[in-house]
Chain A
Amino acid sequence: MIYQNLLLTKISDFLNYNQQMLLTLIVTGIACSILGCFLVLNKLSMLTDALSHSILLGIVLAYFVTKDLNSPLLLIGAGIFGVFTVYAIGLLSKTRLVKNDDAVGIIFPLFFSLAVILISTFARNVHLDTDIVLMGQVIMIPLNNMTVFGVELPKALFYMLIILLINLIFVAVFFKELKVSSFDPEFATLAGFSSGLLFYGLMTLTSFTAVAAFDAVGAILVIALFVGPAASAYMLTKSLKKMLLVSIIFSILNSTLGFYLAIVLNVSISGMIAVITGMTTFMTVLLNRQGIITAIYLRYKNRKEFRLDLLIMHLGNHEDQEDAEFELGFATIKDHLSWDKETAERRLNRLIDQGFVQRNYEKKIFCLTEKGRLRYDMIKVDYGM
């Protein structure tokens, strides 16, 4: 007995409860966001919504077979059911009787309703807590432990690590295929590999990832973990590899921030991470290279730079002319630019600080420095003069 205990490594020796929870959340987030990138690229984001809801029916049906809430078969059954959901949606939209969005919208409420009915009629002894279904039980993660190869660690962490590993292998092995079929499905078909097969491979993994994550963090956060970081990364990057990397960074950031905020405020952890994910995505929308705030800032900056360019042009044009005294005089320059005194002074001072302009005290005018001359020629070239 003592011998066994000596060999047993407990994760709780290294990490406290909070750290265990956070680690599990981060691993879950990474596993989700890797697949999420391909879902976002393939316009399949709302399928995660459908999946995360219909999984409940899968779990209920699997429970009727296994009669054991802790059986891993439950997760496998639910995962298979998730794939079936995707298949059913695909089949329905393939009949062309309904559009794809409609197919999603009709299938998942039906499955979710069936699950609620089945639970409330046949499994009344199983307590269905709405909060647990939707928000999971992050708090409980460190309390459900298991021992694998002499290491005792939270069950959820172990499952998510395995899922993460599988997802990583899948993406690494089929990287080229996934890339081609995400950006050019027609070429993928021409190139001779079935994007249908790849699609169902992706969906199978998505389904199993969703099931495992659902168990730990609930239905709503699953959606956020899949789509949020990937959507942010999609706006910021131009290559698939970078997108994957950035989405992982976003995922870790969201989970960590959300987790600690939730702990400090003593509120739902899953909910908080979902909120933070939404916020970072929204910030990315505003601040990315094509974002609206960036556009406003650039416009402002351009206008500022244009005014300085104008000033340099003015100085360059009149420096060697006879009217330089009036045009560029210390006191009179503002009239020729029709700026008020402070504005003109501020802009001239800025150019003096930057070393483009100097004061010529002999003639009492502003004139260009050597550097300013170069800039003047450059501006002329830029504007095609």
Chain B
Amino acid sequence: MLSVFLNKIFSLNFANLLNAIGLDFEILSSYTFIVVCLGTMILATVAGMVGTITVLKGQSLIGDAIGHSSYPGIIIAFMIGMSLDSVSLMIGAIISGTLAFIIIQFIDKNSKLNLDAVLAVILSAFFGLGMVLKSFIQGHPIYGKVPQGGLSNYIFGQAAFIRTIDVQLILAVAIPSLLILFLFYKEFKIFVFDEVYAKSIGLNSTVMYVLLVLITMSVIATGLKLVGAILISSFLIVPGITALQWSNRFSHVLIIAAIVGSLSAFVGTYISSVYAGMSTGPCIIVVMSGLAFISMFISPKGLLANWLRRRKYINDLSKSLID
């Protein structure tokens, strides 16, 4: 009796509080919003932390290529399983993304081509294959009968349609990924900043690479349904870029990236829930990029600080010259 009463008061106050700062409690407490928001926030947190490592390794565009390249895997998984089951599609995406990654590494090692040319070719070839397969099953007498409307969602993402099982899937990827990141924190740190030193102290950088690629790949694969093959790369790199504006310490950068990721996911999901018709993925990315640009301006290393520093320097200089 008392607890119900307290609860009521608390929720009322809470709702009023939220309303007072301009947030709609109706939306915030709706089941769909909570599911979508949880999904995007967890995903953005993990992606931000893992992606920071890729950014620091100077490989931010590989995520983009792998994101695009995982699309044909989804269609092939659909063709084999004849269903839109999230888990099997995700496995398909991981396999095809990994294959693309291996081919990229192979060409990069065995030719004089630059990495970015390799990325561009592989990205378009794999995504093209996805489109070929998609057009193939559309008119096909066998595959055509199975409903396949969901397949397009993996291109641009459709966060509004995710269900509890998808959130569970994200958690199933997120928890092991974060665990690996924490357990091997020191190893990752050395691996990121001084690969030669890492080798000299007996750290197997191939294993680290495989681990990193595996995590990245599974994060991308789970993210496809939410943000889509084309935009998933920004979930990986933008929080990292933002965090790097604020700190030079690896641990701080990781934490800031996680915060930036989850905050943008929350705000983006909220905006897309309030204004009908706005897709969630793009909204989150706009918020994320906005935070990145703001950071570039006002952070201690940013443009504004630089400008002030330069002005102060010139002022001091002119003063000392006059004196």
Interface residues of chain A, those whose CB is within 8 Å of chain B, are 40, 43-46, 48-49, 53, 95, 97-99, 101-102, 104-106, 109-110, 112-114, 116-117, 120-121, 124, 130-131, 134-135, 220-221, 223-224, 226-228, 230-231, 234-235, 262, 265-268, 270-275, 277-279, 281-282, 285, 288, 290-292
Contacts and interface: CB of A to CB of B under 8 A. Distances in A.
A44 to B, nearest CB: 8
A116 B128 contact: no
**For chain A, what secondary structure do more than half of its interface residues adopt (helix, strand, loop), or is it mixed?**
helix
A278 B124 contact: yes
B42 interface: no
A110 B286 contact: yes
Which one of B116, B117, B155 has the highest number of Cβ atoms from chain A below 10 Å of its Cβ? B117
Contacts, number: 207
Interface of B: 55, 58-61, 63-64, 68, 103, 107, 110-114, 116-136, 139, 152, 155-156, 230-231, 233-234, 237-238, 241, 244-245, 275, 277-279, 281-283, 285-286, 289, 292, 296, 301-303
A97 B302 contact: yes
Contacts of B130: 271
B121 A277 contact: yes
26 contacts: A46-B61, A46-B120, A49-B61, A97-B302, A99-B58, A101-B58, A101-B60, A101-B116, A106-B241, A109-B289, A116-B279, A116-B282, A117-B282, A120-B277, A121-B277, A223-B124, A224-B124, A231-B117, A234-B113, A266-B136, A274-B127, A275-B128, A277-B128, A278-B129, A279-B125, A291-B110
Contacts of B60: 99, 101-102, 105
B131 A290 contact: no
A121 B286 contact: no
Contacts of B155: 130, 134
A124 B278 CA distance: 11
Contacts of A275: 125, 128-129, 132
A114 B293 CA distance: 15
Given A228-B121, A234-B112, A110 B277 contact: no
B131 A106 contact: no
B127 A113 contact: no
A342 to B, nearest CB: 36
B301 A120 contact: no
B131 A97 contact: no
Contacts of B139: 266
A196 B238 CA distance: 28
Which one of B123, B124, B279 has the highest number of Cβ atoms from chain A below 10 Å of its Cβ? B124
B303 A273 contact: no
Nearest to A231: B117
B85 to A, nearest CB: 22
Contact of A268 (B132, B233, B285, B296): B132
Contacts of A288: 111
Given A130-B152, A130-B155, A105 B233 contact: yes
A273 B121 CA distance: 12
A117 B279 contact: yes
B125 A277 contact: yes
B83 to A, nearest CB: 22
Contacts of B127: 134, 220, 271, 274
B160 to A, nearest CB: 12
Given A46-B61, A105-B238, 6 more contacts: A53-B230, A106-B237, A110-B234, A265-B132, A268-B131, A291-B110
Given A101-B58, A106-B289, A223-B123, A135 B103 contact: no
Which 7 pairs, one residue from A and one from B, show the smallest C-beta to C-beta distance? A278-B125, A274-B128, A113-B282, A271-B131, A109-B234, A224-B124, A271-B132
Contacts of B292: 106
A223 B55 CA distance: 23
A292 B106 CA distance: 10
B223 to A, nearest CB: 13
A105 B135 contact: no
A97 B244 CA distance: 9
Which one of A95, A235, A285 has the highest number of Cβ atoms from chain B below 10 Å of its Cβ? A285
A271 B72 CA distance: 11
Given A223-B124, A227-B121, A291 B58 contact: no
Contact of A102 (B55, B103, B123, B134): B55
Which one of A105, A227, A281 has the highest number of Cβ atoms from chain B below 10 Å of its Cβ? A105
A282 B116 CA distance: 15
Given A101-B58, A106-B238, A49 B64 contact: yes
Which one of A101, A121, A270, A272 has the highest number of Cβ atoms from chain B below 10 Å of its Cβ? A101
Contacts of B281: 113
